Amino acid sequence: MEKGSYVMRRNTKWLLGLGVIIVLFVAIFGITRLNSSNSNAKLKDVTIGVAPGPYGDMAKDVMGPLLKEKGYNVKIKEFNDYVQPNKSLSSGEIDANLFQHTAYLKTFSKANHLKLTALGETPTLGMGIYSKKIKSLSDLKDGDKVSLANDPSNLARSLQLLQANKLITLKANVDVSKASLSDIASNPKNLQFKTLDAAQLPQSRDNVTIALIPGNYSWNAKIKPSSALALEKLQEDYKEVFVVKTSQKNSKFAKAVKSVLKSDKFKKAINDSKFKDFDKPASWN
C-alpha cells in the first residue's frame, strides 16, 4: 500500500511539473505572438510610385528597412511612364514617388498645375560612356563611331559629357541644355555620330565604338556603372528627388523620409549596395 502511494505521489508531482512547463510554454508563445502582432500593427503602409529603372529597388531595399525602423511599411507601385507617378501622387493614389529629377518635377508640375514638393535628393545614376571594344577613351581612333540618344534632352547631355571628356568642343555661348550636333565647334578625332532612340543604345554597343547611355537604360540592360569609361557628373537639378504632395510636406511620414535621407545609415547602406557608384547628393560631400 505504501509502495503504491509513493508511486502515485511521484506520478502526481511529475504530472504537475509537466503541467507547469506546458503553461509556461503557452504563455511565452502567446506573449511572443502578441508582441509580434502588436509590432506589425504599429507599421503604417505607404506606397511609393516609381518608373522602370533602379529607384524602385532603392526605395524598397535601402529606404524600406530604414523607414520600417520609423514605423512605415514601404510598398512599391511601378508605372510604365513618366506621367502617371505624379498624377497618381496628386490624386492621393500613392503617398510619394521616386523617379524624377528636380528639373522635370518643376516643369511637369507647372504644366499640369500640380502641387508637389521634393523632400530631398537621392543618389542618381547619370549617363555613362560604355563600350564593348575599348577599355579607355584614350583608345578611341580617328573616325570611330559614337551612338547618342536622339531626344533633345539626352542628346544635349551626351554632348556635354563628350565635351567634359575633351572629345568635342561646343560653340561658345551656346545654351548647353539645348545643344545639338550642329553646335559642335570642334571634333578632333572626327568621331562619327549616330543618333538612336535611347532604348536602343545598349544594343548599339555591338556596332559602334562607344555608346552614351542614360542611367535608366543602362541599368535596365544590366550594364554595371563601374564598367563605364566615364560617368556624367550631374548638376543638382538633374539628381533624383523623393516627392510628396505639398500639403503633406510637413507630415510625420515626410519628416521620417527627410530624417532617413540625411542619415549616416542611409549613406552607409548606399555605399554597401549596388547603388554605390551612383552620383551622390552635393550635401554628402
- Sheet-wide strand order for 128-130: 192-196, 145-149, 210-213, 128-130, 230-231
Instruction: Name the β-bridge partners of 170.
Output: 184
Rg of the chain, C-alpha, whole Å: 28
One fold for both 43-124+238-284 and 128-231? Answer: yes
CATH, domain range 43-124+238-284: 3.40.190.10
**C-alpha dihedral (230, 120, 153, 208), degrees to nearest 10:** 30
| pLDDT digits (tens), the chain, 285 positions | 455 554 455 555 555 555 555 545 544 555 445 444 444 558 999 999 999 889 999 999 999 999 999 999 999 999 999 899 999 999 999 999 999 999 899 999 999 999 999 999 999 999 999 999 999 999 999 999 999 999 998 999 999 999 999 999 999 999 998 999 999 999 999 999 999 999 999 999 999 999 999 998 999 999 999 999 999 999 899 899 999 999 999 999 999 999 999 999 999 999 999 999 999 999 998
* Domain ranges across the chain: 43-124+238-284, 128-231
- Helix, strand or coil for residue 195? strand
Q: In 116-188, where do the E strands start and end? A: 116-121, 128-130, 145-149, 169-170, 184-186
Give the single-character DSSP code of 226: G
Which pLDDT does position 25 carry in this prediction?
52
- The model carries a pTM of 0.76
Instruction: Name the β-bridge partners of 146.
Output: 193, 210
Which pLDDT does position 42 carry in this prediction?
87
What are the start-end ranges of the H helices in the chain?
2-42, 55-57, 64-68, 84-91, 102-112, 152-164, 201-204, 215-220, 252-262, 264-271
* Polymer length of the chain: 285
Which pLDDT does position 34 carry in this prediction?
43
How do 210-213 and 169-170 pair as beta strands?
unpaired
The domain defined by 128-231 folds into D-Maltodextrin-Binding Protein; domain 2 (3.40.190)
Name the residue among 93, 51, 16 with its Cα closest to residue 240.
51
